[in-house]
């Protein structure tokens, strides 16, 4: 009987596709945003329903399911687009089979057979979506971590690590690793840790910063904590946090000046009298006139 039901569905695929497309078109606003073109939505729906029929007809899960799921994720569409679409397909298929004149079978049996055909597809799509989404989130997390604690070499033996946002235990661990790796890689003698963009410095944050500075000291370099705003300084004093083990400056500019002194470097400003373009044109005009 299951084979007979499948043959009816496949033979009437055009009618079922038309019915399904009408049903799923009403769901467009729920699963996509207004920036998605109508053509893209319709083409994706047709590809989706063709994949469903292909899986039902072959009774096996194909790589097309995986590729389509990845495409849905790249479009930024939610999992509900897949699950709702498959549930609509089940409903359309059940209603069509029940109303089919040549089919003499009970409604419970129709429901059971359609479930057996469609449920494996649902499970595969959901599992693939979840796995692909977790992988995407994992890659984004790694990228954000790399951006959250950059170590920037600004001059010979001097590097800067600007920190922005809150610092939790996981991020503090990454800051420590990136800081030590960068100090060795860039042969830094002085590292400026800029906390201008850190909104709150509490006991935990200060503890992480102190640990990072101590680790840098153990590898032969010096940390300067810069960007200490007045309210941050007051908080540090009220909490009794001891930052006396390494230099602190109120701004990155002052910290950079101190780093230059510590590395026996200086910036010399030269006042060369270079002619501007206008001056050169004027001189050429005068020379031509003479």
* CATH code assigned at 205: 3.30.750.24
What is the C-alpha separation between 106 and 98, in angstroms, rounded?
8
User: Looking at per-residue confidence, does 2 or 34 come out higher?
Assistant: 2
Looking at residue 189, its pLDDT comes to: 92
Per-residue pLDDT tens for 18-50?
A: 888 887 777 655 555 555 677 788 888 888 888
11 pLDDT band, cuts 50/70/90, is confident
Same domain for 193 and 157, yes or no, is: yes
Higher pLDDT, 157 or 30: 157
Contacts of 251 (CB under 8 A, 6+ apart): 226, 227
What's this model's pTM, rounded to 2 decimal places? 0.50
Residue 270 domain flag? no
Q: What is the pLDDT of residue 72?
A: 82
Q: How far apart are CA 282 and CA 269, in angstroms?
A: 28
* 285 belongs to a structural domain: no
Q: How far are the Cα atoms of 68, 128, 203, 210, 230 from residue 206, in angstroms, in the given order?
A: 48, 42, 5, 6, 16
- Verify that 59 and 123 share a domain, yes or no: yes
Q: How many CA atoms lie within 13 A of 185 on its CB side?
A: 10
Task: Please state the rounded mean pLDDT for residues 234-255.
Answer: 84
Residue with tokens 């270079």: 274
Boundary of a domain, candidates 127, 146, 165 = 146
Helix (H) or strand (E) segment spanning residue 71: helix 63-75
The percentage of residues in the chain with a pLDDT greater than 70, rounded to a whole number, is 80
Choice between 184 and 29, residue whose per-residue pLDDT is larger: 184
Residue 288: band (very low, low, confident or very high) from pLDDT cuts 50, 70, 90: very low
Pair 186, 233 in one domain = yes
Q: Rounded to an integer, what distance in angstroms lies between the CA atom of residue 45 and that of residue 31?
A: 12
- Report the alpha-carbon distance of residue 101 to residue 115 in Å, rounded: 21
Burial class (CB in 10 A: 0-12, 13-18, 19+), 79: middle
Residues 124, 163, single domain; the answer is: no
How confident is the model at residue 192, as a pLDDT? 93
Residue 242 lies in a domain: yes
Three-point CA angle 250, 252, 258, nearest 5°: 85
Between CA 209 and CA 12 the distance in angstroms is: 68
Task: Identify the pLDDT of residue 10.
Answer: 77
Is the same domain home to 195 and 161? yes
Confirm whether 142 is domain-assigned. Answer: yes
| Structural domain that includes position 243 | 152-262
Percent residues over pLDDT 90 in the chain: 6
DSSP 3-state of 154: strand
Is 209 among the domain residues? yes
Whole-number pLDDT of residue 61? 57
Least confident of 156-160, 190-194, 256-260, 283-287: 283-287
The reply to whether 164 and 205 lie within a common domain is yes
Calculate the average pLDDT of the chain: 78
Over residues 136-141, mean pLDDT: 68
Question: What average pLDDT does range 197-222 have in this prediction?
Answer: 85
| The pLDDT value given to residue 224 | 92
C-alpha dist (Å) from residue 274 to 105, 269, 270, 280, 287: 96, 14, 11, 10, 19
pLDDT in tens, 83-122: 888 888 888 888 888 887 566 677 788 888 888 878 888 8
Q: 72 with 200, same domain?
A: no
- How far is residue 144's CA from residue 149's CA, in Å, rounded to a whole number? 9
pLDDT surpassing 50 at residue 14: yes
- Two tokens at 20? 């399904």
Three-state secondary structure readout of 246-281: CCECCCHHHHHHHHHHHCCCCCCCCCCCCCCHHHHH
Question: In the listed set 101, 130, 146, which residue is the last one of a domain according to the structure?
Answer: 146
Structure tokens at 146: 């790399």
pLDDT at 287 over 50: no
Model confidence at 172, pLDDT cuts 50, 70, 90, reads: confident
Q: How confident is the model at residue 273 (pLDDT cuts 50, 70, 90)?
A: very low
Q: Are residues 115 and 159 in the same domain?
A: no
Q: Out of 146, 161, 196, pick the residue that ends a domain.
A: 146
Whether the pLDDT of residue 157 is over 50: the answer is yes
What are the strands, taking DSSP E only, across the chain? Answer: 152-155, 158-164, 190-197, 222-226
How many separate domains does the chain show? 2
Q: Are 30 and 98 part of one and the same domain? A: yes
Q: What is the pLDDT, as a whole number, of residue 39?
A: 79
The H or E element that residue 181 is part of is: helix 169-186
Q: Domain check: are 157 and 250 in the same one?
A: yes
Q: Specify the pLDDT at position 158.
A: 92
Judged against a pLDDT cut of 80, whether residue 3 lies above it is answered with no
Judge whether 1 and 48 are in contact, CB under 8 Å. no
Rounded CA separation 51/89 (Å): 12
């Amino acid at each position: 009987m299951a084979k007979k039901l499948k043959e009816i569905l496949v033979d009437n695929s055009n009618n079922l596709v038309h019915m399904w497309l009408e049903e799923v078109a009403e769901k467009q606003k729920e699963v996509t945003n207004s920036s998605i073109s109508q053509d893209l939505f319709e083409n994706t729906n047709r590809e989706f329903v063709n994949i469903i029929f292909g899986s039902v007809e072959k009774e096996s899960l194909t790589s097309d399911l995986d590729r389509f799921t990845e495409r849905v994720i790249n479009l930024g569409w939610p999992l509900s687009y897949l699950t709702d679409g498959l549930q609509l397909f089940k409903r359309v298929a059940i209603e069509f089979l029940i109303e089919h004149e040549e089919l003499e079978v009970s409604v419970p049996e129709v429901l059971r057979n359609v479930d057996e055909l469609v449920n494996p597809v649902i499970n595969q799509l959901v599992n693939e979506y979840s796995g692909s989404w977790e992988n995407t989130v994992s890659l984004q997390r790694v990228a954000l971590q790399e951006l959250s604690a950059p170590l920037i070499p600004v001059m010979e033996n001097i590097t800067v690590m600007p920190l922005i946002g809150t610092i939790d235990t996981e991020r503090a661990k990454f800051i420590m690793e990136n800081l030590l790796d960068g100090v060795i890689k860039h042969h830094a003698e002085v590292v400026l840790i800029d906390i201008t963009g850190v909104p709150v410095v509490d006991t935990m944050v200060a503890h992480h910063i102190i640990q990072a500075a101590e680790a840098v000291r153990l590898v032969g370099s010096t940390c300067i904590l810069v960007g200490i705003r007045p309210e941050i300084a007051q908080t540090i004093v009220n909490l009794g946090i001891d930052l006396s083990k390494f230099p602190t400056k109120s701004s990155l500019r002052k910290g950079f000046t101190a780093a230059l002194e510590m590395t026996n470097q200086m910036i010399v400003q030269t006042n060369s009298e270079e002619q501007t373009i206008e001056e050169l044109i004027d001189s050429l005009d005068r020379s031509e006139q003479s």
